[in-house]
A and B are shown apart, each in its own frame.
Chain A
């Protein structure tokens, strides 16, 4: 059996003292060093370590990242190859999708114009120096956005969260300690090692550490999550993981969360009006459902169809469901493929719905995917857990009927036709939805530029510091006022 060994990369240094064994997903185990033992090497010895980051200009940072992108070619980078290989054992995202995501690192994510767009979300003037603001009372406020030592508890459903974290940390010039997820063990380490190969002593290389510890390991986390060590925790992850992190939050540590989300589609009135509109909606919806094998938070799991609920409308919904199923099968294999294995529980749930044929109409439902049409307009209980390219199509009489299902767990809503967005965006936002987009574009979410799960992520990862100049314009101070009043007295 292959030994899977996950080193700690601490501030530019690779630690390979494989002492502990952990169980990963799908039965395989891996070894890694004892993070507790190396905590002092993971932590900054002093905040003065960060001064080197601020000796760089933002253009130096950009140059570093663009060059870094050039080193992230999967065909020639052994670290990325190692990380991609690990996902075959520890992750259920098919490897060609993992490799596809990795291919985007250098070819699009780390391109200069993309990085500039990310900078734009904070403002170059705040990241590259002190931006002066003249205040009404004469004070000049110089404001700068600073990165701070931050623990990043990232998601493991693909290699992108590690990449995003690397870049975000570099742009804000923080110090990142990435908690490696148990189902995506390789990417953070691969990025750190690539940086070491490229520029071992560069301050940005030394500003990114990757460490595995078992999430919830109170002995380690109590030591790590102290304001002396980290001032911010950026947590991607479920209710359970955020709840347990929340107990470490106190004055001095703040929390930025990107919780797991689900996404849905709304097909407005008129969708069922013609074969053309149904086919158009089906083609677009199929991409939203199947692209990336429905592993992402942006994938559609439910589509509401606004209709009069008449017998004809229900028949049309079944036909629409059939079309979506067919179009899912037509997706190119580079972006979507049948499930490698389906878990027994999911099969049992689908089998149960297949039997309840007065209430549900099930199309497919095997490794190739499926569509469940809710004949009475009630979405299925496990709608948020739909996977293997399975969609729940829910006919509803009007918007009110679907809004009762919409909570802040819904990240993206894909709409068809376009006017649905204009009618609903405010209402959806008030129900907690964070992104509304055109049907067929749900997967094309660029959370590094647009708001991420309701957050201005990069801004929120900054600590905003003001350096005030009260003397240049001789802004009158409180303690000065009495003196002046006395001097002015006749």
Chain B
């Protein structure tokens, strides 16, 4: 049979060609993505398969790269704020916080106590939103359709709550230098308290329905075991390193805001497999509920916006500020030349480091397990590509 000219021409691109150079004999090179559903957006993974087993894998990034760091050098400090909600759309408030915190640290802006409490409250609500989306999508990857409907039902309550103060439902731009955009009202507090009561019951239901499920356990236990050493070498943070038994959480390690005054635990599981990372996130949601309760009990009255200059020009110099996002350590390295535009903004995305260990984790696993590993890393591609 002769092949049509179209088929016989080499359809591979730069990355496929470079990847196939190191291929063994009798293996199959397969492109997963950039439109594969299990890659949650536009991640592309090239894998070399021997039967159903992965010999090698290489993630190819950049399909949703928007060069946020370059935009930072073109906009003023304030104009750059809305970019932050778009870096990681699932935990936008944490990115708000990382950038705002870096600018405040460099410019020496004080934040009123009430604003700090509101920041913690909205950040934790957003963390639960993020974990819920991950939970639903991960189970969807593993073949369970119903949980995502439960997750989105609960998330809807939280989005309504956050919408009251932020004005948006996903790409929040709520934090301001020296405070927050709007004060929380009684309805916000009441709704949040109602949600906490409801969600505690739901979490129990999630556990009975999903976590104890035999099929789920088969798909997660002993899959993608990440040792402490490997996690550290790749710079993994967040639930990924806590799933390997390291209690590293920026909220405790390098405390910022009012976190030192709050009583909460850092859930860790030492197995290092996909199930451990799953459990960490579920337990984290419980801890977030605890934090939210304490914050609402202790929230003082007062201003929500500190004094900030009209045109913000931080002094010459540099700073690094990190916060704990739903996926790990979010860092902003900010350099100022004394003008109204940042000289350099470097964004450290936790997912970027977490994903970089995938090539090593997936070696020798079944392709179906690789999907489970990818999901357990909780990837948000816009954050990784920035």
Specify whether A and B are partners: no
Binding site for A on B (CB under 8 A): none
Binding site for B on A (CB under 8 A): none
